[in-house]
Amino acid sequence: MFLTNGAIFANLVPRFPELKTELALSNTNYGIVVAAFPIGALVAGIAAGAVIRRLTSARTALLCTIGIAVLVCAAGLSTTPVLLAALLFGGGACDAVTDVAQNTHGLRVQRAYGRSIINSLHAVWSVGAMLGAGMAAGAIALHVPIGVHLGVSAAVFVGVALAAYPFLLKGRDEAADSAADAGTAGRPGWRVYGALAVLVVIAMGGAVIEDAGSSWAALYLGSGLGAAGAVAALGYVALLGFQFIGRVVGDRVVDRFGERAVARGGGLLVAAGMGLALAFPSVPGTIAGFAVAGLGAATAIPAAMHAADGLPGLRAGTGLTALAWLMRLGSVGAPPIVGMIADATSLRGGLLVVPVVGLAIAAAAGVLSGRRRPVRS
């Protein structure tokens, strides 16, 4: 299920430059249109908890995955900017609910499994996103029409989700939550809400870095540095590939050094890698810069989700739902901000937001836990 969530939208991302050209969008208008996806996620995300309680996290994840696939396929066939924005809005709404449902289910599995697996689950998301971006790069290189490409993608990954559904945990999620609630006492104070706010900064930073790869990497490499279409798609693929590597080893590295040290070092790595890539622009250097950014930010969102889910005084799932919703603000604000900076200066200037966000993650990492032993049952 994490794989399908990563793959479906990633099939559309490398084809954004085609849609930008076909619809004659400026950088600012393009940024506004692609922001419709996270705006839809922001609007719908607050309702995710209620939907999950009614349908269960397993059913919610499946139904909303189908919704994303249909809407993303339709978005690729858009004939006007308004239609594209509307379809992206709907896809983002489905994605937000799927995101909370999958992480709720994943943390339920983690509690039953007896040790940390959340980074590995997010690594599988990265595999899906790499697979989707790779499929798109191949389709571009082979001149496959966007409608055919996205139709095949939707059919394949809806099929994968349907095949995976019978293996998900049965029963309602409240049964797992009640066990977690048994150890929670007291009412949250300002320190808890302050910690949640700082965790939102970390998660938002991870989301902004992912968005820079999905919304701008192909455009910058293509129009800014002259890379061919299939090569331009490699910026996003590199970010996802190294994000995957970071998440595969993430659980073991976090157990050894602690979430705080890993997030702080990762944020500094993002700042250094993308800072150098933008200071000395080239196609290979920029692809490497996005790769380093993906590696550095790999554990930021999983760490923030794990910490938010364990905040004292909050019902199980409340911190996670709030974090998942609020972090969407970064995805909503980043594309228009980068687009406006790009129109005022250059896209290279707009992408300076990435190293700045890396420094913000490093500064906020103090709220995360230090070195700890893995929890086993």
Determine, yes or no, domain membership for 54: yes
CB 201 within 8 A of CB 326: no
* 373 falls within a domain: no
Task: Name the residue with higher pLDDT: 330 or 59.
Answer: 59
In a domain, 376, yes or no: no
Residue 115 falls inside a structural domain: yes
The length of the chain, given as a count of residues: 377
| Range with top average pLDDT, 172-181, 182-191, 203-212 | 203-212
Residue 327, pLDDT > 70, answer yes
Mean pLDDT score, 3-28:
90
Q: Are 329 and 43 in contact (CB under 8 A)?
A: no
**Of residues 30, 17, 19, the one with CA closest to residue 221:** 17
Neighbours of 144 (CB within 10 A): 15
Conformation bin of residue 226: beta by default, left when phi > 0, alpha when psi is -120 to 50: left
Amino acid 229: pLDDT? 76
The Cα–Cα gap between 17 and 30 comes to 9
Distance CA 356, CA 271 (A): 7
187 has pLDDT over 60: yes
- Contact (Cβ atoms closer than 8 angstroms) between residue 354 and residue 216: no
In this prediction the pTM is: 0.75
Confidence of residue 317 (pLDDT cuts 50, 70, 90): low
One-letter amino acid at 239 equals L
Greatest C-alpha distance within the chain: 60
CB atoms closer than 10 angstroms to residue 26: 12
Residue 377 within a domain = no
Tell me what pLDDT residue 41 has. Answer: 87
How far the first Cα of the chain sits from its last, in Å, is 25
Does residue 232 surpass a pLDDT of 70?
yes
pLDDT at 287 over 80: yes
Q: Name residues whose C-beta falls within 8 Å of residue 352's C-beta, 6 or more positions apart in sequence.
A: 278, 341
Domain containing 218 equals 2-367
Task: Provide the pLDDT for residue 27.
Answer: 81
More confident residue, 38 or 80: 80
Residues 193-220 have a mean pLDDT of 90
CATH at residue 357 = 1.20.1250.20
Better-predicted residue by pLDDT, 216 or 321: 216
| Residue 185, pLDDT score | 44
| pLDDT higher than threshold 70 for residue 109 | yes
Question: Region 145-167: what's the mean pLDDT?
Answer: 96
Angle (CA) 22-28-34 rounded to 5° is 65
pLDDT of residue 182: 40
Residues 252-275, mean pLDDT to the nearest whole number: 92
* Stretch 78-98: mean pLDDT: 94
In a domain, 374, yes or no: no
**Which residue is associated with the tokens 């808890």?**
192
- Taking alpha carbons only, the member of 326, 136, 98 closest to residue 229 is 136
372 — pLDDT class (breaks 50, 70, 90) = low
Cβ atoms of 300 and 202 within 8 Å: the answer is yes
Q: How many domains does the chain have?
A: 1
Res. 376: pLDDT tops 50: no
Least confident interval from 26-30, 95-99, 308-312, 330-334: 330-334
In this predicted structure, the answer to whether residue 218 has a pLDDT above a threshold of 60 is yes
240: pLDDT confidence band, cut at 50, 70 and 90?
confident
Residue-wise DSSP of 181-226? HTT--S---HHHHHHHHHHHHHHHHHHHHHHIIIIIIHHIIIIIT-
Q: Which of 28-42, 164-178, 276-290 has the lowest mean pLDDT?
A: 164-178
CA distance 327 to 168: 26
pLDDT class of 371 with cuts at 50, 70, 90: low
Host H or E run for residue 361: helix 353-364
Question: Could you give the count of Cα atoms lying within 13 Å of 328 in the half-sphere of its Cβ?
Answer: 26
More confident: 84 or 49: 84
> How far is 362 from 303, CA to CA, in rounded Å?
13
CA distances from 372 to 16, 110, 257, 259 (A): 42, 17, 8, 9
Q: Which amino acid is at 151?
A: G
Tell whether the model's pLDDT for residue 177 goes beyond 70. no
Q: What is the mean pLDDT of the chain?
A: 87
Residue 353 has pLDDT above 70, yes or no: yes
| pLDDT tier, 316 (very low <50, low <70, confident <90, very high otherwise) | low
Helical (H) or strand (E) element with 51: helix 48-55
Residue 41 lies in a domain: yes
pLDDT in tens, 55-68: 999 999 999 999 99
